[in-house]
Chains A and B, each alone.
Chain A
Amino acid sequence: QKEVEQNSGPLSVPEGAIASLNCTYSDRGSQSFFWYRQYSGKSPELIMFIYSNGDKEDGRFTAQLNKASQYVSLLIRDSQPSDSATYLCAVKRDGEYGNKLVFGAGTILRVKS
């Protein structure tokens, strides 16, 4: 079992709909979670991060954590064609000299106009 798992997709949604992206993690003690967006041929850019103490909303984006089931979700409201990208989930993990991120393989999102 991979430490962080995502459905590769593609997830297709119509413009204006809510896109729901999920990510499961194996370490029950995980406390920090990150969502990155990556356009084709570009580098990942941070969208949101949340801690184990609660959900977070930022504009059209909401990150939700379900600790009991060990998954984190990213909801994108009013999806736009410009949201079409690969979304990477990452979990913070302690290393010998500080923490690092473990990434899932990403979910491709396609928003159709």
Chain B
Amino acid sequence: DAGITQSPRYKITETGRQVTLMCHQTWSHSYMFWYRQDLGHGLRLIYYSAAADITDKGEVPDGYVVSRSKTENFPLTLESATRSQTSVYFCASRGQSNQPQHFGDGTRLSIL
């Protein structure tokens, strides 16, 4: 089915571990985004991508790495997880300039 899919939906890991969150979209959208959502902060942009191999930092990029080798995939990696990165992570995508963003179902990440 067309849409945007995140995996895993839930993840528990330990501090210092590397963890990768996956995002896949089937709309051929140019733009993809990663947000984290924490109580009292709303959605904060971590990184975004305008096309394959074009990425840029958002509001809270520290501790995260992204890549985009294919248009449909936009993985987010926490290279050495910290407790402060416990959050709900949302991936989103959109087409060109004035089109709205559509969100995936989210990944709930807990770091112990």
Binding site for B on A (CB under 8 A): 6, 8, 32, 34, 42-46, 49, 88, 90, 95-106
Contact call B40/A98, Cβ cutoff below 8 A: no
Cross-chain contact of B100 among A6, A43, A49, A106 (Cβ < 8 A): A49
Chain B residue contacts of A102, Cβ below 8 A:
45, 59
Interface string of B45-78 (1 = CB under 8 A from A): 1001111001010110000000000000000000
Chain A residue contacts of B42, Cβ below 8 A:
6, 88, 103-106
Of the four ranges (under 10, 10 to 19, 20 to 34, 35 or more), the interface on chain B belongs to: 20 to 34
| Least CB separation from A46: chain B residue | B100
Chain A residue contacts of B49, Cβ below 8 A:
97
User: What is the minimal beta-carbon distance from B78 to any residue of chain A, in angstroms?
Assistant: 20
Binding site for A on B (CB under 8 A): 30-31, 33, 35, 40-45, 48-51, 54, 56, 58-59, 90, 97-98, 100-106
Contact call A98/B103, Cβ cutoff below 8 A: no
Contact call B102/A88, Cβ cutoff below 8 A: no
Can you list 8 residue pairs at the A/B interface with Cβ under 8 Å?
A: A6-B42, A43-B106, A49-B100, A96-B56, A98-B31, A98-B48, A101-B33, A102-B59
Contact call A44/B45, Cβ cutoff below 8 A: no
| Least CB separation from A106: chain B residue | B42
Contact call A95/B40, Cβ cutoff below 8 A: no
Contact call B103/A99, Cβ cutoff below 8 A: no
Bound-state CA distance A99–B48 (Å) is 10
| Least CB separation from B42: chain A residue | A105
Chain A residue contacts of B54, Cβ below 8 A:
97
Cross-chain contact of B56 among A44, A49, A97 (Cβ < 8 A): A97
